[in-house]
Amino acid sequence: MKNNIVLIGFMGTGKSSVGRYVAKKSAGKFIELDNEIVQRAGMSIPAIFAEKGEPFFRAMEASLIAEYSEQEDLIISTGGGAVLNPLNVENLQKKGLLICLTANPEIILDRVEKDNNRPLLAVEDRLGKIRELLAQRAPFYQVADYTIDTSELTVEEIGEHILGYSRGWADGKNANCSGRK
Ligand code: S3P
């Protein structure tokens, strides 16, 4: 039985805010993987990337995913690059319903603009970089059981949508649904 809800998707699509909302409205415990990495490393994400390198960050990410994938009743918000590693996908799928949040590039830019916490977007042409990464990653995000475009929705609307979908899924209504929208 899958009873974790796992939010995947690009930076700035609302995974953390939505995950927090879904956890508050359900019996689930909220796990923000980036936050866990920061806590355990005792460093910010830009500092980890700069001082230890991206492979070190990805190894920590993979190890936390393996750890939390064994637990239940979690709402897990993943970093945007987590699903690039097939082992992470395999682990997250064990007990988790994978929900992908998307948004259009301009909205993503608007949401991440004032945030300097994302080393991959620390470039001159942020919109160009967002478009490039979105194109590269599109096939990886297709592992989702269900995808929601968050561009025009509030956190509450997205959260309720996910809660409805996961209840339906648990009731078996979505049992034979490939789910991709
Ligand atoms: C990353 C996304 C970030 C964070 C790190 C790398 C990515 O998480 O894990 O900066 O590769 O897309 P958010 O998606 O929560 O911003």
For 67-101, the DSSP string reads HHTT--SEEEEPPTTGGGSHHHHHHHHHHEEEEEE
Q: Whose CA is nearest to atom 1 of ligand 1?
A: 80
- For residue 88, what pLDDT is reported? 98
Is residue 98 within 8 Å of residue 8, measured between CB atoms? Answer: yes
> 7 forms bridges with which residues in the sheet?
77, 99
Residues 7 and 142: their CA atoms lie apart, in Å, by 13
pTM of model > 0.85: yes
- For residue 174, what pLDDT is reported? 56
> What is the number of the ligand 1 atom nearest to the C-alpha of 137?
12
Residues with CB under 6 A from ligand 1: 11, 15, 34, 45, 79-81, 118-120
- For residue 177, what pLDDT is reported? 44
- For residue 114, what pLDDT is reported? 85
Q: Whose CA is nearest to atom 11 of ligand 1?
A: 81
- For residue 168, what pLDDT is reported? 85
Degrees (nearest 5) of the Cα angle 3, 153, 81? 55
Residues of the chain with pLDDT under 70: 1, 173-181
Is residue 118 within 8 Å of residue 45, measured between CB atoms? Answer: yes
